[in-house]
A = this chain, B = another copy of it.
Amino acid sequence: MTNEQARLQFIERMGQQAANDGLTRSAGQIWAALLLSDEMMSSAELAELLQITKGSISTNVRTLETLHIVERRFKPGDRQDYYAIQENPYTALVEGQIRRFDNANKIVAEALDGVRGGSAQVKLTELARFYQLYQQSAVGLLAAMKADPEPGSS
């Protein structure tokens, strides 16, 4: 398999994977393209490479920005916006997951407050325990990632 084929395949697979994780296929493809690129890329370049309209690039890049995966950069004297992968993109993802566990914990805690009944209490407590363990695990992961920042060569 040529270098080019490997790149296109990776872009396609990241698109599929993103679509399974709540993002859009285009967002995953943009992510992959920026991972593979040595330089930051303009939206025109992304649109040409991925065969996506600039409108879709705009919206998808915005969601990747809010997820702190992609950041917008500028070249002096150049009106175009450029995009690149952020410095530590994955800590933000784990932090987002932790926030979601917070929400889940709230739901279960409120249910435990208001619901009476024998085995329901038991099973809700099990569910709450699961969410708490999962959250602790995510917090530990985040700490490990921050302790070992994988200092990006450059």
Q: Could you say how many copies of this chain the assembly holds?
A: 2
Given A115-B6, A137-B141: A107 and B13 within 8 A (CB)? yes
Q: How far is the CA of A38 from the CA of B14 in the complex (A)?
A: 43
Q: How large is the interface on A (under 10, 10 to 19, 20 to 34, 35 or more residues)?
A: 35 or more
- When the two chains form their complex, are residues A115 and B3 in contact, meaning their CB atoms are under 8 A apart? yes
CB-based nearest B residue for A127: B35
A74 at interface, CB cutoff 8 A: no
The interface of chain A, by Cβ under 8 A from chain B, is: 1, 3, 5-7, 9-10, 13-14, 17, 20, 22, 35-38, 85, 90, 94, 103-104, 107, 110-111, 113-120, 122-124, 126-127, 129-130, 133-134, 137-138, 140-141, 144-145, 150, 152-154
